[in-house]
Amino acid sequence: MPAVEPVNVAIVYYSATGSVHALAKAAAEGAEKAGATVRLRKVRELAPPEAINANPAWAQHIQDSADTAEAVLDDLGWADALLLGTPTRFGNPASQLRAFLETTGPLWAQGKLADKVCSAFTASNTPHGGQESTILALSNTFYHWGGIIVPPGYTDPIQFKSGNPYGTSHVAGRGAPSDETLAAARHQARRVVDTAAALKAGRATTA
Ligand SMILES: Cc1cc2nc3c(=O)[nH]c(=O)nc-3n(C[C@H](O)[C@H](O)[C@H](O)COP(=O)(O)O)c2cc1C
């Protein structure tokens, strides 16, 4: 049987004030612990400086995340599994992440986004502020790509505490992500890696 390479995971996210960044880092830890090779990538900031500078937390996060590489199309092509993270913006993904996704047409047209394991996570200010609708909105794109959507469901005891089967979700209005929410992000990433690893191994036997 041919040796199976580790799963490649791209964690691509947007974060203005750091909450989603914290979830993305936890997801990266979970994926690495599960044996994956991980690329943690922020999408390009598109807001004008006057908007950013009017919010000290936003300006601070831009400085704090200066060392995180920006996502490019090759990160998606390279990945066996994709974890997308975004703040909830009026019940939808942030335009910065959408703008990046809308550059993926050339990859999509070549079928290079098909058959990847896909999952998503979010943060919103309030508990009923649209977390599920944001994650489901990202799923629309996964469907178009031909992705294999793997939600966390209630597949681990942490899910009964953190409480979102659609994808890890943080209520930013309550402060920084709790240990439980970070554990849920690690679990979600582990589940994504395990699924992608099984698919990769199965494909290697039929190649
Ligand atoms: C334009 C805009 C729209 C927002 N819409 C919502 C919303 O629909 N529901 C909600 O609970 N929070 C909303 N928020 C708050 C963000 O979701 C929150 O600031 C974000 O999750 C924090 O994540 P970050 O620290 O990674 O940027 C909105 C914020 C902005 C700037």
pLDDT of residue 154: 98
**Whose C-alpha lies nearest to ligand 1, atom 4?**
89
Most ligand 1 atoms within 8 A of CB, residue of 90, 126, 136 to mutate? 90
Most ligand 1 atoms within 8 A of CB, residue of 60, 88, 126 to mutate? 88
Query: Would you call 59 helix, strand, or coil by DSSP?
Result: helix
Rounded distance from Cα 125 to ligand 1 centre (Å): 5
CATH of region 8-206 = 3.40.50.360
pLDDT tens series, the chain, 207 aa: 556 799 999 999 999 999 999 999 999 999 999 999 999 999 999 999 999 999 999 999 999 999 999 999 999 999 999 999 999 999 999 999 999 999 999 999 999 999 999 999 999 999 999 999 999 999 999 999 999 999 999 999 999 998 899 999 999 999 999 999 999 999 999 999 999 999 999 999 887
Rounded distance from Cα 143 to ligand 1 centre (Å): 25
- In angstroms, the CA 188 to CA 20 distance is 14
What's the chain's Rg over C-alpha atoms? 16
Domain residues of the chain, as ranges?
8-206
**pTM for this prediction:** 0.97
